[in-house]
């Protein structure tokens, strides 16, 4: 009876919102999500939410709203008997899923500006801290949104939502969630016979396998993804996958193969006039040259990245680290130390980047076993907590050092 009286006290638009809120994935939502759902400006949506809170049909905490199970059940019951009709429900859900896609894409563009997406993204809505906070708060809703998009007949939205999430999933090493959402996205793309979606999701699956240490599975998936990208004619997508594949070759100490892949990707990126892909290819090529013991050639490539004004901190930091390693190969520890100091001044989004700094510093202090071990232990702890396959090799190195 209390819920019935509360509902009767609402204005018509607030009643509509009350019913539509059952469509929201996850346990809580923001005013922006509610505005997308009812297709109203924020200034008109906020008073409706205030009504629902005043009637205790919603609760508000830390700028997020929650519809408790009793209110949700009531909303389902009245929606069967009154407006909105089912014809209005489907567009509302589509708007909400599109809002999650747009916002996740904007947030991921801030976290990794050089990550290639099948559709252009905007980085204007977030700072890096806000982007991480938004993903952390919405991760459960995003997971359900991926599955929901497939279930209600929006396969393209399904795989695009996964694509928008991927930079954050990789940054946080959320392998279980990555595996789950890429599985739904791949199935949706296959069902829709969407070759672009299949190529994107297979590239994502390969990168997940690589980061988890399954090099054989990653190589197989990358090769298949390249075939799919070739069929689509989307050469930027082909270059993106080629760069990821080349990084697999580097991790497997096949730097000669990696070098050829990076060179091909660089040529494609320049043809497509995609500066972000070009910078990633230059950075990877420098790493491959370094792995082949050619520090001067490596520095030539890496300087293309370090001197570019558009290079974001997430790419600039590893570039400086590899440049430091190149100077160590050239037996120039002073320049190496200077570059590591520059790296220390950059904001760090990926904790593994800090481990890479410590690994090079360990090499820099190889003449001092105590300092060397300190840096190796720090790197090992980060890599182990991140599930990085290099942790095992580093543990063996520490065992050999003893102490």
Q: What is the CATH number of the domain that holds 78?
A: 1.10.10.10
Residue 13 CA from chain centroid, whole number = 36
pLDDT in tens, 125-152: 789 999 999 999 999 999 999 999 999 9
Structural domain including 138 reads: 89-223
Position 174 in a domain: yes
Mean pLDDT of 388-399: 84
Say which residue, 351 or 161, is predicted with more confidence: 161
Same-domain check for residues 58 and 104 = no
Same-domain check for residues 99 and 73 = no
pLDDT exceeds cutoff 90 at 286:
yes
Average pLDDT of the chain to the nearest whole number: 93
Position 167 in a domain: yes
Same-domain check for residues 9 and 108 = no
Position 315 in a domain: no
Same-domain check for residues 33 and 57 = yes
pLDDT at 238: 98
Same-domain check for residues 44 and 8 = yes
Specify whether the CB–CB gap between 347 and 110 falls below 8 A.
no
Tell which phi-psi region holds residue 288, choosing left (phi > 0), alpha (psi between -120 and 50) or beta.
alpha
Same-domain check for residues 20 and 144 = no
Same-domain check for residues 93 and 79 = no
What SS3 class is residue 383?
helix
Same-domain check for residues 79 and 198 = no
pLDDT in tens, 83-106: 555 457 899 999 999 999 999 999
DSSP code string of 232-249: HT-HHHHHHHHHHHHHHH
Position 12 in a domain: yes
Work out the pLDDT band at 1, boundaries 50, 70, 90.
low
pLDDT in tens, 254-263: 999 999 999 9
Among residues 113, 112, 122, the alpha carbon closest in space to that of 350 is found at 112
Spatial separation of the C-alpha atoms in residues 56 and 323, rounded to whole Å:
59
Position 331 in a domain: no
- 334-to-163, 173, 322, 330 alpha-carbon distances in Å: 42, 34, 15, 11
Residue 234 tokens, joined = 């989307």
Q: How many domains does the chain have?
A: 2
- For residue 66, the surrounding DSSP H or E stretch is strand 64-66
Angle at 401 between CA 400 and CA 403, to 5 degrees: 120
pLDDT exceeds cutoff 80 at 67:
yes
37: Cβ–Cβ under 8 A, 6 or more apart, which residues? 17, 20, 21, 23, 24, 92, 95, 96
Question: CB-based burial of residue 347 (10 Å sphere; 0-12 exposed, 13-18 middle, 19+ buried)?
Answer: exposed
Tell me the whole-structure pTM to 2 decimals.
0.92
pLDDT exceeds cutoff 60 at 403:
no
Of the three residues 58, 84, 110, the one that is the final residue of a domain is: 84
Of the three residues 32, 54, 84, the one that is the final residue of a domain is: 84
Same-domain check for residues 15 and 141 = no
Position 188 in a domain: yes
Position 36 in a domain: yes
Same-domain check for residues 52 and 13 = yes
Specify whether the CB–CB gap between 300 and 288 falls below 8 A.
no
- 114-to-13, 19, 120, 123, 223 alpha-carbon distances in Å: 42, 40, 12, 11, 22
pLDDT in tens, 8-39: 889 999 999 999 999 999 889 999 999 999 99
Same-domain check for residues 16 and 136 = no
Same-domain check for residues 145 and 32 = no
Of the three residues 49, 84, 119, the one that is the final residue of a domain is: 84
Among residues 280, 323, 321, the alpha carbon closest in space to that of 299 is found at 323
Position 267 in a domain: no
């Amino acid at each position: 009876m209390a819920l019935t009286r509360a509902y009767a006290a609402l204005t018509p638009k607030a009643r509509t919102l009350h019913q539509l809120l059952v469509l929201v994935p996850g346990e809580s939502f923001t005013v922006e999500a509610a505005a997308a759902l009812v297709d109203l400006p924020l200034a008109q949506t906020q008073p409706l939410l205030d009504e629902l809170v005043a009637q205790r049909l919603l609760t508000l905490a830390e700028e997020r709203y929650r519809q408790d199970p009793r209110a949700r059940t009531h909303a389902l019951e009245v929606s069967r008997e009154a407006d909105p009709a089912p014809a209005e429900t489907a567009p509302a859900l589509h708007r909400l899923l599109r809002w999650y896609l747009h916002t996740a894409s904007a947030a991921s563009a801030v976290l990794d500006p050089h990550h290639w997406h099948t559709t252009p993204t905007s980085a204007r809505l977030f700072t890096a801290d806000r982007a991480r906070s938004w993903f952390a708060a919405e991760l459960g809703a995003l997971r359900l949104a991926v599955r929901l998009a497939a279930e209600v007949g929006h396969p393209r939205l399904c795989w695009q939502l996964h694509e928008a999430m991927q930079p954050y999933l990789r940054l946080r090493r959320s392998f279980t969630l990555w595996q789950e959402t890429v599985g739904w996205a791949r199935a949706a793309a296959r069902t829709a016979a969407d070759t672009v979606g299949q190529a994107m999701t297979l590239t994502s699956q390969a990168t997940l396998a690589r980061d988890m240490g399954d090099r054989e599975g990653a190589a197989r998936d990358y090769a298949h993804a390249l075939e799919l990208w070739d069929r689509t004619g989307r050469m930027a997508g082909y270059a993106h996958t080629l760069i990821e594949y080349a990084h697999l070759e580097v991790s497997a100490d096949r730097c000669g193969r990696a070098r050829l892949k990076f060179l091909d990707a660089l040529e494609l990126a320049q043809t497509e006039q995609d500066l972000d892909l070009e910078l990633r290819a230059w950075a990877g090529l420098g790493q491959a040259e370094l792995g082949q013991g050619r520090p001067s050639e490596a520095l030539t490539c890496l300087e293309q990245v370090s001197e570019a004004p558009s290079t974001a901190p997430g790419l600039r930091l590893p570039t400086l680290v590899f440049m430091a390693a190149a100077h160590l190969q050239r037996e120039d520890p002073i320049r190496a130390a200077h570059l590591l100091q520059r790296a220390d001044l950059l904001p760090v989004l990926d904790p593994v980047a800090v481990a890479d700094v410590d690994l090079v510093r360990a090499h820099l202090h190889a003449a001092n076993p105590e300092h060397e071990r300190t840096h190796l232990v720090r790197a090992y702890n980060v890599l182990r907590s991140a599930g990085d396959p290099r942790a095992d090799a580093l543990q063996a190195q520490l065992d050999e050092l003893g102490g």
